[in-house]
């Protein structure tokens, strides 16, 4: 049994303009101790997915169908009270912007202590002691003094550490980190990621890391899911995705990252923009932007299949690479035509290619 199993999750937002389909039959699993990356453009449904797991989808959002099982228990069946007992306790969340996630009116220490008092119910003094320990464990110097500081007295990096301390304070089994390093500079980012890594290893905590930074995923995650318009287009162990991406969108994302030693004047971008989640294009949602799209792509929605066998994807099989592209069901006449080059240090070597050179107009 996986730590987290999301199955056919559909989240809808009922807005004045229409129904926004934030996630569409989204399924994925995260194992205990696994570091699972979720990437995609803004609006791909990454954050909604994490809020859904936390049970914090707010109006006008509604979880319309699906299951979210945590240690086998369907979270959507729980009442508010039972959900609150898990939240912050067994499932914790790290927010993107620590500066706004911290309440300016209370001391950092109080904001950590209150969760400890609420869930673990120790005395006032014991909660404070534990909070100071947490601050120390995330590398905040002089934690006993820092305990009674207000958020505005912390630097950005320290604020993010405090938010992480908060998430860790009740020894969660699953941490959902929503862009935990986006607001930070790269040095602090590296420190924070190392810290998260240490924690995940020490306590066997599962981490679902949401980001649009592919570099962070490569460094930190075991497995990843690429989301587009509310559903996964590719899911596989990180190495497989980087060395051998199987979906045109993933390829597009990869080629839009700048690399050291890059001699391109301009970065490649994926033309167009993500479809309107109210009126999604028929067939494959990505076809209007896909250089390999054929007529069939406008009609048939590609299922998520194992790219080796072409069989329907099995979310329980963690080693498989799955993608949602008709190229893998044999319905395209052309082939995906691209070459992937991964540079290791200064040596560059072609690693794999899925194209055979024939143009696929």
Partner 1 sequence: MSLRRYVLKRLLITIPLLLGVTLATFAMVHFIPGDPIDFITLFTELDPETKQEIRARYGLDDPIYIQYLDWLADAARGDFGTSITTRQPVTKEIAERLPFTLMMGSMAFVIAIVTAIPAGIAAAYHRNTKVDQVSRVAALLGIAIPNFWLGLILILVFASWLDVFPVLPPTGEGLLSSEMIVYTLLPALAIGTGSTALLMRLMRSSMVEELDKDYVTMARAKGLPERTVVGKHVLRNSLISVVTVAAIQVAFIISGSVVVEIVFSYPGLGRLLVNRVRNHDFPVIQALVLIIGVAVIFANLLADVLYAYLDPRIRY
Note the residues at the interface with partner 1 (CB under 8 A): 51, 54, 56, 84-89, 92-93, 95, 97, 100-107, 114-115, 118-119, 150, 152, 163, 166
Do residues 306 and 314 lie in contact, with contact meaning Cβ atoms separated by under 8 Å? yes
What is the closest distance, in whole angstroms, from the C-beta atom of residue 206 to partner 1 in the complex?
A: 16
Pick 153 or 268: Cβ nearer partner 1: 153
Hey, which bits of the chain come out as E strands? Answer: 4-15, 18-30, 35-39, 61-70, 73-74, 91-94, 174-178, 206-211, 223-228, 231-237, 305-306, 322-323, 339-344, 347-353
Pick 21 or 117: Cβ nearer partner 1: 117
What is the closest distance, in whole angstroms, from the C-beta atom of residue 89 to partner 1 in the complex?
A: 6
Give the C-alpha separation, 172 to 87, whole Å.
Answer: 9
What is the closest distance, in whole angstroms, from the C-beta atom of residue 100 to partner 1 in the complex?
A: 4
Pick 91 or 236: Cβ nearer partner 1: 91
Pick 177 or 226: Cβ nearer partner 1: 177
Pick 92 or 305: Cβ nearer partner 1: 92
What is the closest distance, in whole angstroms, from the C-beta atom of residue 324 to partner 1 in the complex?
A: 30
The Cα diameter of the chain in Å comes to 70
Pick 63 or 92: Cβ nearer partner 1: 92
Give the C-alpha separation, 211 to 180, whole Å.
Answer: 8
Give the C-alpha separation, 146 to 129, whole Å.
Answer: 13
What is the closest distance, in whole angstroms, from the C-beta atom of residue 44 to partner 1 in the complex?
A: 20
Do residues 200 and 30 lie in contact, with contact meaning Cβ atoms separated by under 8 Å? no
What is the closest distance, in whole angstroms, from the C-beta atom of residue 38 to partner 1 in the complex?
A: 17
CB atoms closer than 10 angstroms to residue 279: 11
């Amino acid at each position: 049994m996986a730590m987290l199993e999301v199955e056919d999750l559909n989240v809808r937002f009922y807005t004045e303009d229409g129904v926004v389909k934030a996630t569409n039959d989204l399924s994925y699993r995260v194992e205990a101790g696994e570091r699972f990356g979720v990437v995609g453009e803004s609006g791909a449904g990454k954050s909604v997915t994490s809020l859904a797991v936390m049970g914090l989808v707010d109006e006008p959002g509604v979880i319309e169908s699906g299951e979210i099982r945590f240690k086998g228990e369907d979270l959507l069946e729980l009442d508010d009270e039972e959900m609150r007992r898990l939240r912050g306790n067994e499932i914790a969340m790290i927010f993107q912007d620590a500066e706004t996630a911290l309440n300016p009116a209370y001391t950092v220490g109080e904001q950590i202590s209150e969760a400890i008092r609420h869930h673990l119910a120790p005395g006032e003094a014991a909660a404070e002691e534990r909070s100071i320990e947490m601050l120390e464990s995330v590398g905040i110097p002089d934690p006993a003094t820092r305990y009674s500081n207000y958020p505005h007295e912390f630097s950005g990096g320290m604020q993010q550490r405090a938010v992480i301390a908060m998430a860790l304070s009740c020894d969660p089994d699953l941490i959902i980190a929503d862009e935990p390093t986006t607001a930070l500079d790269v040095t602090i980012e590296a420190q924070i990621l190392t810290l998260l890594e240490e924690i995940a290893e020490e306590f066997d905590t599962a981490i679902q890391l949401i980001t649009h930074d592919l570099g962070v995923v490569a460094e930190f995650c075991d497995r990843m899911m690429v989301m587009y318009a509310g559903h996964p287009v590719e899911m596989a162990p990180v190495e497989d995705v980087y060395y051998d991406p199987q979906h045109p969108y993933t390829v597009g994302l990869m080629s839009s990252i700048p690399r050291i030693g890059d001699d391109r004047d301009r970065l490649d971008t994926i033309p167009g923009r993500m479809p309107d989640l109210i009126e999604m294009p028929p067939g494959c949602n990505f076809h209007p932007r896909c250089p390999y799209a054929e007529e069939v792509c406008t009609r048939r929605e590609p299922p998520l299949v194992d790219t080796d066998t072409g069989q329907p994807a099995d979310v329980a099989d963690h080693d498989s690479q799955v993608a949602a592209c008709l190229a893998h069901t044999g319905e395209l006449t052309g082939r995906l035509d691209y070459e992937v080059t991964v540079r290791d240090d200064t040596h560059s070597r072609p690693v794999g290619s899925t194209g055979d050179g024939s143009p696929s107009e």
